[in-house]
């Protein structure tokens, strides 16, 4: 048979085939596949799969040590939440996103030397031995005018004792506790009472008078924040002294906007009122007469003129303190924002003594110290930074830093000797770490056991352990082991046999067990077990590693006489209360939760970059001040302090007191995970410590550019 295929047949066939294809799933499948492809691009990250487990640990990102429940997939944490009772608050933003930190782009992966040049710094990886060589060289050259100092950003850990033991064998060796740690103002109490160790008991206070402590923004344990903001009965009253309507001042029952730098006068003015308003106030003070004489002139009217706080408000505040006790008076001393200075802290702490709340539940309390990990023997002294001579440190080792020193570098710099060597042990190469000469990587949060000794706002001694959940992602150096290696290299004989930080912690836990004192709370169910009921130290260790919280019992207050003026000369009191009304003052204000860290979770961009909630680098003045200076919102201005000058973009905000420049740094791009070299908190540089060691406020000028 002959087949005749015409053009027409071919066309017919093609048409039929096309129609036929439309009736098969093929074209629809093709379309669907195309759609599916748009939903599954290969470059879109895929969440991990695996068994879901819950594990308890403790947040080690700030001294509060919140109990944490981690939701893990395939053993690795994918979310964190606060464990335990709801009325204890929740994790702060930093803690909530803490499981991201081990993966932070600013992670330091190996020891390195940082070469500082005029063109910025350069990092060169070096073996740990090279770093050790530099350390040993400096130890060899050490003396009282060229000290070896360890800046301990988390004093009170077991390894702090190890450092002090090592430093004890080095001439001029000192341990400097972080100058910007919360609760450091309590040191003033030690000076006033002559001896003893003190804590505060905000949990039982009914009124808190806070001199700029950001109580509702992460100062202290989240319990305080919760009680202040969310407590069912709102049973806590807050009086906030602050030159701007911060988030804490907004939450306060009474806001006393005082000119920065006049807090001492305000405290003495309240002392004036308490002496007159409360029977027996100051009866135990050995220097009551001198105090009375000094406060004589700080009448409400005089204080109003100095501070800007209306006299009536002052009287009202004093009445509330007396009537709604127990009352606690605290001084702002948080990281970054810095301390108020020794004189001011003494004036503030004196109010607790006048109120008779020292030793009382809800006030300032005597608190037992945590046992040391070993029989202490001879230890190098712990010296506050402001007591260290200028230009006297030859070797500075920075331990337990999360990368950034929460203070202006200038404050540390003036203590450094010529050609001082700085070695930083840190998980991140960011912030202040980049100023070091050598950097050594340490484990990040959740990569190793971190020890959380007594938080400053705890009325009793306490310890918690942060259990690791993530395999270390870098070859991290352990501080305990590092102390040993330094000793070996410098041929220093250490009597104790520790090998590592974990060894030291275990030793401490075992001494707690031996003492039989206190109890352990399991945060998940609130179960409490007395230490005396635990058969072995290992049992206590395991309980702690499972998120347990050991606390000592409350101490009996010692009714010893005290010095309301702390033995500080009158001239310093007068200098601290001089009139500043005519000055424009810059205040350094670091929102505590996330902005002061060298590394934060990149999702913090939700708060700083992706919403108008916070500005990353904010310089704000009251519109009235701006007008007086001839400046407008958004205008470029030059902010000049005695320390530095800087071009800024001005924000106006009615929340800021007139005459005040609110300087707020946010996280840097590096901190948020963008790789960028040599970036610092520029705004920090505007501040330098005064003769009291404080950098909270600086006289400043703002000029249009």
Partner 1 sequence: MDKPLILRGVSRCSTRNFAAWLFPWVVLLAVGLFAIGLCLIAGLNQTNMDNRFAFGLWIFLDLAVIALGAGAFFTGFLLYILRRDELRAVINSAVVLGFICYSGAVLILMVDVGQPLRAWFTFWHPNPHSMLAEVTFCITVYLTVLAIEYVPILLKNRQLRKVPSFLAFEFQLHKVMPVFAAVGAFLSFFHQGSLGGLYGVLQGRPFAFREGFAIWPSTFFLFILSAIATGPAFVLLTTWMVSVLTRKRLVEKRVLSLLAKISGWLLIVYVGLKSIDTLVWLNHTAISTGTYPIRFFAWQPFDVWVLVAEIVLLGLVPALIFLSPSRRQSTAWLVTGSVLACGGVVLNRLVMTIQTLAVPTLKFEPFLMYWPNWQEVAAFVGVVAYGVILYSLSFRYLTLFPQERDLQQR
Partner 2 sequence: MKRTEPKSRYGMVIDLDRCNGCGACSAACAVENNIPPAQPGVNERTGLTSMRVYRASNGRAFPDHRTVYFPVSCQHCGEKTPCVSVCPQNAVDVNPTNGVVSQVPARCLGCRYCMAACPVRARYFNWFDPEWPEGMDRTLNPDVSVRMRGVAEKCNFCHGRWQAAQAKAAAEGRREIDFADYVPACVEACPAQAIVFGDLNDAESEVAKQASGSTAFRLLERLGLDPKVYYRSERAWVRRLGDTDFAMNERQAARG
Nearest alpha carbon to residue 244 among 609, 625, 542, 684? 625
Contacting partner 2 within 101-130 (CB under 8 A): 103-105
Distance, in Å, from the CA atom of 136 to the CA atom of 97, rounded to the nearest integer, reads 39
78 binds, among partner 2, ligand MGD, ligand SF4, none (CB under 5 to 8 A by kind): partner 2
Distance, in Å, from the CA atom of 681 to the CA atom of 67, rounded to the nearest integer, reads 31
Which of ligand SF4, partner 2, partner 1, none does 37 bind, CB closer than 5 to 8 A by kind? partner 1
Cβ 225 to partner 2, closest distance in Å? 5
Task: For residue 678, give the nearest of 108, 121, 117, 125 by alpha carbon.
Answer: 121
For Cα atoms 192, 196, 198, give the angle at the middle one, nearest 5 degrees. 85
Pick between residue 13 and residue 28 the one whose CB is nearest to ligand MGD. Answer: 28
Closer residue to ligand SF4 in complex, CB, 343/607: 607
Closest CA to 405 of 433, 440, 444, 438: 433
Q: Can you tell me whether residue 654 is helix, strand or coil?
A: coil
Among the candidate windows 70-78, 135-143, 287-295, 347-355, which touches partner 2 by CB under 8 A? 70-78
What is the x/- site pattern for partner 1, positions 300-329, by CB under 8 A? ------------------------------
Q: Kindly tell me which of 306 and 576 has the beta carbon lying closer to partner 2.
A: 306
Choose among partner 1, partner 2, ligand SF4, none what residue 31 binds, the Cβ cut-off being 5 to 8 Å by kind.
partner 1
How far is residue 103 from each of residues 226, 444, 445, 497, 599, measured CA to CA in Å? 30, 9, 10, 34, 10
Is 93 near partner 2 (CB under 8 A)? yes
- Helix 479-489 × helix 501-515 angle, to 10°: 110
Among 25, 140, 280, 634, binds partner 2 (CB under 8 A): 634
Q: Is 28 in the site for ligand MGD (CB under 6 A)?
A: yes
Task: Report 207-236 residues binding partner 1 (CB under 8 A).
Answer: none
Q: CB within 8 A of 82, min separation 6: which ones? A: 66, 67, 68, 69, 88, 89, 90, 91, 95, 222
Report in angstroms how near the CB of residue 405 gets to ligand SF4 at its nearest: 17
Q: Cα(260)–Cα(161) distance, rounded to whole angstroms?
A: 37
393-399 vs 416-426, strand pairing mode: parallel
The answer to whether residues 155 and 182 touch, using CB atoms and an 8 Å cutoff, is no
Nearer to ligand SF4, 82 or 360 (CB): 82
Write the interaction track for ligand MGD spanning residues 291-330; mark x where CB under 6 A is met and - where it is not. Answer: ----------------------------------------
Report the distance separating Cα 306 and Cα 309, nearest Å. 8
Question: Contacts with partner 2 in 662-701 (CB under 8 A)?
Answer: 669, 672-674
Distance between CA 367 and CA 346 in Å, rounded?
19
* Interface pick for partner 1 out of 18, 21, 35, 85 (rule CB under 8 A): 35
Which of 11, 18, 22, 52 is close enough to bind partner 2 by CB under 8 A?
52
- Cβ of 31: how many Cβ atoms within 10 Å? 10
Does position 603 interact with partner 2 (CB under 8 A)? The reply is yes
Question: Quick one: which of 652, 683, 702 has its CA closest to 244?
Answer: 652
Of positions 27, 127, 194, 230, contacts partner 2 by CB under 8 A: 230
CB of 685 to partner 2, least distance (A): 24
Cβ 615 to partner 1, closest distance in Å? 14
When asked if residue 597 is in the footprint of partner 2 (CB under 8 A), the reply is: no
| Stretch 10-39: interaction string toward partner 2, x if CB under 8 A | ----------------------------xx
Per-residue mark of binding to partner 2, 191-210 (x: CB under 8 A): --------------------
For residue 259, give Cα distances in angstroms to 211, 340, 511, 581, 586: 12, 13, 48, 7, 10
Residue 213 to residues 247, 344, 355, 413: CA-CA distances in angstroms? 11, 14, 19, 26
- CA gap 492, 490 in Å, rounded: 6
Is 63 a residue that touches partner 2 (CB under 8 A)? no
Q: 7 or 49, CB closer to partner 2? A: 49
Binding span for partner 1 by CB under 8 A among 28-36, 101-109, 543-551, 680-688: 28-36
Task: Give the closest residue to 294 by CA, choosing from 570, 663, 556.
Answer: 570
Q: Which does 607 bind (CB under 5 to 8 A by kind): ligand SF4, partner 2, partner 1, none?
A: partner 2
Alpha helices, H only, 152-199 = 158-168, 187-193
**24 vs 39, beta carbon nearer partner 1:** 39
Put the strands of the sheet holding 76-82 in their side by side order: 52-58, 67-73, 76-82
Per partner kind, with CB cut-offs from 5 to 8 A, the member of ligand SF4, partner 1, ligand MGD, none near residue 150 is none
Looking at the DSSP bridge assignments, the partners of residue 57 are 68
Contact between 613 and partner 1 per CB under 8 A: no
Residues 148, 388 contacting (CB under 8 angstroms): no
User: Residue 117, class by beta-carbon neighbours within 10 Å (0-12 exposed, 13-18 middle, 19+ buried)?
Assistant: exposed
91 makes contact with partner 2 (CB under 8 A): yes
* Binds partner 2 (CB under 8 A): choice among 55, 76, 121, 557: 76
Instruction: Name the 3-class secondary structure at 216.
Output: coil
Q: Which residues bind ligand SF4 (CB under 6 A)?
A: 59, 61-62, 64-66, 91-92, 94-95, 218, 222
| Least CB distance to partner 2 at residue 463 (A) | 24
User: How far is the C-alpha of 243 from the C-alpha of 662, rounded, in Å?
Assistant: 9
Q: Distance between CA 459 and CA 461 in Å, rounded?
A: 7
Say which entry of ligand MGD, partner 2, ligand SF4, none residue 28 contacts (CB below 5 to 8 A, set by partner kind). ligand MGD
Binds ligand MGD by CB under 6 A, chosen from 6, 39, 118, 491: 39
Structure tokens at 470: 């993530």
Q: Which CB sits closer to ligand MGD, 25 or 526?
A: 25
Closer residue to partner 2 in complex, CB, 20/612: 612
Select the span of 247-255, 282-290, 317-325, 529-537 touching partner 2 (CB under 8 A): 247-255
- Residue 34 interacting with partner 1 (CB under 8 A): yes
- Binding flag, residue 31, partner 1 (CB under 8 A): yes
Q: Cα 693 from chain centroid?
A: 18
Pairing mode of beta strands 147-152, 393-399: parallel
Q: DSSP letter at 462?
A: E
Please compute Rg for the chain using Cα positions.
29
Pick from 6, 38, 40, 118 the residue near partner 1 by CB under 8 A: 38
Token pair 């980049």: residue: 434
20 touches ligand MGD by CB under 6 A: no
In this chain, which residue has its C-beta nearest to ligand SF4?
95
The residues of the shown chain that bind partner 1, judged by CB under 8 A, are 31, 34-35, 37-38, 612
The residues of the shown chain that bind ligand MGD, judged by CB under 6 A, are 25, 28, 39
């Amino acid at each position: 048979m002959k087949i005749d295929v015409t053009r027409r047949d071919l066309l017919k066939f093609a048409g039929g085939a096309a129609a036929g294809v439309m009736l098969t799933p093929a074209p629809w499948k093709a379309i669907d596949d195309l759609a599916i492809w748009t939903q599954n691009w290969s470059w879109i990250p895929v969440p991990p799969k695996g068994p879901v487990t819950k594990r308890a640990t403790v947040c080690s990102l700030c001294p509060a040590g919140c109990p944490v429940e981690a939701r893990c997939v395939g053993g690795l944490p994918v979310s964190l939440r606060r464990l335990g009772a709801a009325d204890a608050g929740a994790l702060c933003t930093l803690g909530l996103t803490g499981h991201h930190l081990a993966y932070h782009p600013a992670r330091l992966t190996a020891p390195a030397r940082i070469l500082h040049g005029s063109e910025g710094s350069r990092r060169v990886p070096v073996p740990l031995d090279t770093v050790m060589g530099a350390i040993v060289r400096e130890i060899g050259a050490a003396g009282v005018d060229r000290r070896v100092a360890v800046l301990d950003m988390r004093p009170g850990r077991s390894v702090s004792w190890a450092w002090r033991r090592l430093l004890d064998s080095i001439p001029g060796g000192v341990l400097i506790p972080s100058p910007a740690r919360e609760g450091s103002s309590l040191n003033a109490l030690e000076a006033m009472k002559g001896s003893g160790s003190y804590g505060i008991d905000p949990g039982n206070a009914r009124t808190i008078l806070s001199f700029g402590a950001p109580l509702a923004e992460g100062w202290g344990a989240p319990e305080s924040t919760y009680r202040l903001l969310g407590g069912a009965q709102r049973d806590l009253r807050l009086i906030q002294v602050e030159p701007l309507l911060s988030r804490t001042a907004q939450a306060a029952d009474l806001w006393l906007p005082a000119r920065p730098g006049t807090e001492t006068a305000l405290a003495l003015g309240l002392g004036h009122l308490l002496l007159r308003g409360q029977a027996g106030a100051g009866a135990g003070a050995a220097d009551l007469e001198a105090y009375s004489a000094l406060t004589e002139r700080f009448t409400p009217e005089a204080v109003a003129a100095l501070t800007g706080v209306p006299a009536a408000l002052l009287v009202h505040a004093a009445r509330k303190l007396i009537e709604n006790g127990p009352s606690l008076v605290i001084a702002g001393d948080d990281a970054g924002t810095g301390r108020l200075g020794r004189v001011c802290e003494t004036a503030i702490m004196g109010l607790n003594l006048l109120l008779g709340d020292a030793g009382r539940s809800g006030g300032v309390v005597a608190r037992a110290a945590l046992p040391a990990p070993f029989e202490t023997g001879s230890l190098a002294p712990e010296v506050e930074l402001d007591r260290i001579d200028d230009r006297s440190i030859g070797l500075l080792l920075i331990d337990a830093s999360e990368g950034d020193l929460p203070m202006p570098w200038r404050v540390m710099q003036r203590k450094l000797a010529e050609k001082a060597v700085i070695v930083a042990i840190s998980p991140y190469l960011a912030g202040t770490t980049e100023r070091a000469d050598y950097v050594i990587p340490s484990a990040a949060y959740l990569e190793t056991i971190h020890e959380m000794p007594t938080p400053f706002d705890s009325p009793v001694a306490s310890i918690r352990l942060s259990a690791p959940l993530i395999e270390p992602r870098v070859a991290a150096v352990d501080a305990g082991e590092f102390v040993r290696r330094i000793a070996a290299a410098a041929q220093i004989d250490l009597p104790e046999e520790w090998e590592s930080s974990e060894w030291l912690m275990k030793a401490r836990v075992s001494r707690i067990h031996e003492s039989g004192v206190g109890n352990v709370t399991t945060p998940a169910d609130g179960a409490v077990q007395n230490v005396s009921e635990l058969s072995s130290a290992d049992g206590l260790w395991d309980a702690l590693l499972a998120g347990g919280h050991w606390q000592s019992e409350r101490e009996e207050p010692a009714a010893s006489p005290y010095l309301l003026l702390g033995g500080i000369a009158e001239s310093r009191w007068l200098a601290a209360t001089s009139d500043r009304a005519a000055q424009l003052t810059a205040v350094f204000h670091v929102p505590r939760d996330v902005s002061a860290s060298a590394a934060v979770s990149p999702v913090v961009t939700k708060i700083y970059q992706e919403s108008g909630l916070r500005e990353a680098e904010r310089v704000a003045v009251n519109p009235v001040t701006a007008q007086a200076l001839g400046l407008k919102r958004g205008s470029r201005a030059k902010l000049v302090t005695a320390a530095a000058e800087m071009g800024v973009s001005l924000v106006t905000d009615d929340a800021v007191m007139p005459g005040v420049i609110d300087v707020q740094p946010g996280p840097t791009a590096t901190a948020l995970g963008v790789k960028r070299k040599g970036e610092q908190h520029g705004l920090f540089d505007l501040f330098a410590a005064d003769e009291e060691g404080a950098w909270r406020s600086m006289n400043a000028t703002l000029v249009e550019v």
